[in-house]
Homo-oligomer: A and B are copies of this chain.
Amino acid sequence: MSGFTKIIEKDLGKLETSIDRLISTRVDYIKEIVSYIIGSGGKRVRPVLVMLCSKLCGYRGQKHISYAAIIEFIHTATLLHDDVVDNAKTRRGLSTVNTVWGNEPSVLVGDFLYSRSFELMSREGNNEILKTISQVTTALSEGEILEIVKTADVETTEEDYYEIIGNKTAVLFGAACEIGAILGKCQNNRRKALKNFGYNLGIAFQLMDDVLDYTSYNDVLGKHVGTDLKEGKVTLPLIYVLRTARDKEKAYLEKIITQERITQRDFDRVRSIIEKNGGISYTMQATENSLGKAKKYLDTFPPSRYKSALLELADYMLKREM
């Protein structure tokens, strides 16, 4: 990713070996699919958080590697199930598992990764971490279901939106940081601070994702992305503009959101309405606010290279382009 991964470079190397080892199964088909998706170049943001936070809290053992792998497994399981739910065709520039192998393995390998994660955690025997993670995976599924309930709902409020992204994305970032704190045997107030740091970072991450879905280009086709609009996901750029646009534009947006199929031309017009009415800059501002909040939670920690790395990671959120 960037400079902030330098100080945990060795651990990140161990992570990859650990991932391979921990997913071992006698079913080759599972190995093949897991290698495909986990090896497809994810940014390992969540494992990095586990590692940096555990070091920040003075952890000197090796368990942070396994937990970093587990967090990545859980994240990967959600991706596998999401792609079935969204009927997605590509992810990270590669065909999705459901496109290559079908929905069945995508669902079941996701289940395998969830179960293996809990198996590994129960083997590690840290009940605090297990509690944290199991609450989070419940929240993840609730967030995803809330998102379905709100599909193509033009009445979706900002509050609904934050509830959805809080559950579907931010809680896992929060848990990654909290695990670090638990491993490092942090005081309770610092553990909470790190959890909140992660949560707000996750909110910012998702806000940027939702901005990029309107502003980023598809590498292959050179078109803007627009996946959210196609899937009826009413994200903050759209929510803001539905509230602020002129009646005529609003009526047009509402028509498009509830429409079965959306053409590239529809998307381009929606995008220009959003940009013109400040939906992108409003969401960018929300991202910055969330990052500011996140960084503030680190005030309780004295300066250290791990703290600097976490602050740098936060700043990186605004710069990422995909």
Contact = CB atoms under 8 A, between A and B. Distances in A.
A134 B118 contact: yes
Given A134-B119, A142-B25, A149-B29, A85 B114 contact: no
A138 interface: yes
A200 B5 CA distance: 51
A130 B105 contact: no
Contact of A131 (B110, B123, B137): B123
Number of copies: 2
A115 B103 contact: no
Please classify the interface of chain A as helix (H, G, I), strand (E, B), loop, or mixed, using the class held by over half of its residues.
helix
B103 A141 contact: no
Given A29-B149, A130-B130, A148-B105, A141 B111 contact: yes
Interface string A147-170: 011000000000000000000000
Given A111-B144, A115-B134, 13 more contacts: A29-B148, A84-B104, A85-B103, A85-B104, A108-B141, A108-B145, A109-B141, A111-B140, A115-B141, A116-B138, A118-B137, A122-B127, A125-B127
Interface of A: 25-27, 29-30, 81, 84-85, 103-105, 107-112, 114-116, 118-119, 121-123, 125, 127, 130-131, 134-135, 137-138, 140-142, 144-146, 148-149
